[in-house]
Chains A and B, each alone.
Chain A
Amino acid sequence: MDRTDAELISAARKGDPASFEPLVAKYQGRVFATARRYARRESEVEDIVQEVFIKAWQKLDGFRGEAPFEHWLMRLAVRTCYDFLRGHQRNRETAFAELAESETNWLERFAAGPGSASEDADAARQLVAKVLSRLSPPARLVITMLEIEEKTVKEIAALTGWSATLVKVRAFRARAEMRKILSQMTRDKYL
């Protein structure tokens, strides 16, 4: 019979890593998906996820069980991703400065008629990934959660530990930052 999260956590707290394994197996998919939003290379994604679970193991005593384990784990995952972004800030300025041919073509199609440039296109996905990779860490985090994952301000505040007002302020700045980067990347040609 499958043991509940509470039973597994209780056993893991006593220092039994084997009891932690089903918890990792159960939630690792979601943590991987979250990490993939912020890191491109699969090796970086694995490092983030590994760090999340090691931190979870170390801080398991801090889990009071008032909210589901998944919520607590996702908070840890978001904060680890944020630390990752802050740690890799230097790379964001130089990365993807130039547009690929397919992205330029997509923008040209978009300029000719917004309907003709599909959002399903790989070029659109690559372009948005480039724009996001150049955002500052708080801007990237807030744009990803608010605009892409469509979370509420309250949910973002709970996940990041920021106040609701700070989330709103950062969202406002992040949108402006994203527009500026988009404009720089396309050199005001199509905007």
Chain B
Amino acid sequence: MSEEVYAKLLAAARKHPPGEQVPYAFEKRIVARLEARPAPSVWGLWCRPLWHAAISCVAITVLCGLWAYGSRAHTEPADNFSQDFEAAVFAPMNQQIEDSW
């Protein structure tokens, strides 16, 4: 039964193909549309990818900023920047002193 309905419906569709009638002066409408289309400018072609790139760059900057802020929040806050800086500068020297002991 299912096969018969399937075949019958497809036969119905085959028997009634869609018409080729066209709205009046449709070709003129197409040509008018083509003539009305502005020619693509070099600036227009260049600006679109540039904007896309700019948006991507801003997004990456924001993500990097958030990541940097997040990673700093997880580390111990420095009490004194000058002490940290000094420790970092003299780190090799301290290492040498420790090795000589």
A interface list, Cβ under 8 A from B: 17-18, 20-22, 24-25, 28-30, 32-33, 36-37, 46, 49-50, 53-54, 57, 107, 110-111, 114, 117, 119-121, 124-125, 127-129, 131-132, 147-148, 150, 178-179, 182-183, 186, 190-191
Contacts and interface: CB of A to CB of B under 8 A. Distances in A.
B2 A110 contact: no
A190 B2 CA distance: 8
Contacts of B21: 29, 32
A128 B48 CA distance: 45
Interface string B28-68: 11110111000000000000000000000000000000000
Q: How large is the interface on B (under 10, 10 to 19, 20 to 34, 35 or more residues)?
A: 20 to 34
A120 B8 CA distance: 10
Contact of A37 (B9, B15, B18): B18
Interface of B: 1-2, 4-6, 8-23, 26-31, 33-35
A148 B30 contact: no
A20 to B, nearest CB: 6
Given A24-B27, A128-B13, A57 B34 contact: yes
A49 B29 CA distance: 11
A-side binding surface: helix, strand, loop or mixed? helix
Given A24-B26, A54-B30, A125-B16, 10 more contacts: A20-B30, A54-B33, A110-B5, A119-B9, A120-B12, A128-B13, A179-B2, A182-B2, A191-B1, A191-B2
